[in-house]
Amino acid sequence: MAFEEKMEVIKSVEPFVEQFISEKMKNPEECWQPADFLPDFADPDFHDKIQILQKSIANVPDTVLVSLVGNMITEEALPSYQTFFNLLKGMNEERNVSSNGAWARWSRLWTAEENRHGDLLNKYLYLSGRVDMKVVEKSIQQLLHNGVDLQTDGDPYHGMIYTSFQERATKITHVNTGKLAYKSGDLSLAKICNTIAGEEALHEKAYKFFMGKIFESDPNGGLAAFVAMMKKKIVMPASLMDFGTEKRQYLNYVNITQKIGAYTSYDYASIIDHLVKNWGIENLLGLSDEGKKAQDFLSTLAERYYKLAERMKEPMEMELIWLNK
């Protein structure tokens, strides 16, 4: 499909973006804020509260903490995600960051919610006393400095496939990290992870809804985008963290996350499975020959990834980066 036609489809989805915003998204005034979960330094007993926090996080294993730091660094790079979104063709043709268009507004609502995720985790980890904050801060700056390459080539269909996948992946990671925190006795951290996961679930719902509308208008184009993104493989947003340095922090983060079960190759397969079913890929009608081929490819893809996940060996390289020694 020619790019102009894709732009038309994106334009036609705009009322649904509007609908999602008005029905599902909260006004910033009504949202929770990091301060709701953190000790207040103005309280006379703030010392005690910090001691309680440090005591409750004390039994969270180092590996879980490294994984959590990686999640936090990923969240902190959100200026790159808003930029990414607004650079998708057809999303912000006015080239205006305060545009009133539904897509541009969505991009701001979405990233303004994400901003609190990074803030809250960052402050909690800082107060924990277990994290080498300067090293972590360098990683955040490095990642922002390097940007993101989500391999969508500015194509809005690719962008919607990527975000549908990644928001679900992020939700899974936060849910699993919350369970690990709960198991280690840090109920506050578990609550934080679950609260964040709840918002990721909403973002996932939004992107799946928007992409679903694209499939309704342009099933062949939607399928081509889904296949293209699956062939490139979905990379985590923090993948450029070490670019330009000798560090291997990203690999460590990915390995540890896999090892502790916060986000695994099995999850990757399950997300493909879920998205294929959610968009009813196997029942799409009005397909070209290319579209039918894409449909066949996608209907067996999750199965192949499940098999790969079963065969996958334990990750080797694991260093307890980002933590105080």
Q: Give the footprint of Fe ion on this chain (CB under 5 A).
A: 75, 114, 117, 167, 200, 203
Least distance (Å) between residue 206 CB and Fe ion: 9
User: What does the CA dihedral 203, 205, 208, 212 come to, rounded to 10 degrees?
Assistant: -140
The amino acid that residue 87 corresponds to is L
Least distance (Å) between residue 116 CB and Fe ion: 8
Q: Cβ closer to Fe ion: 33 or 300?
A: 33
Q: Cβ closer to Fe ion: 6 or 116?
A: 116
Q: Cβ closer to Fe ion: 155 or 167?
A: 167
Q: Cβ closer to Fe ion: 71 or 128?
A: 71
Angle at CA of residue 78, ends 73 and 80, nearest 5°: 110
CA distance 100 to 98: 6
Least distance (Å) between residue 170 CB and Fe ion: 5
Least distance (Å) between residue 9 CB and Fe ion: 24
Q: Cβ closer to Fe ion: 73 or 230?
A: 73
Annotate 14-81 with DSSP letters as a single string.
Answer: HHHHHHHHHHHPPPGGGS--GGGGS--TTSTTHHHHHHHHHHHHTTS-HHHHHHHHHHHHHHHTHHHH
CA distance 112 to 97: 13
Beta strands (DSSP E) in 203-285 are none
Least distance (Å) between residue 299 CB and Fe ion: 28
- The alpha carbons of the chain give a radius of gyration, in whole angstroms, of 20
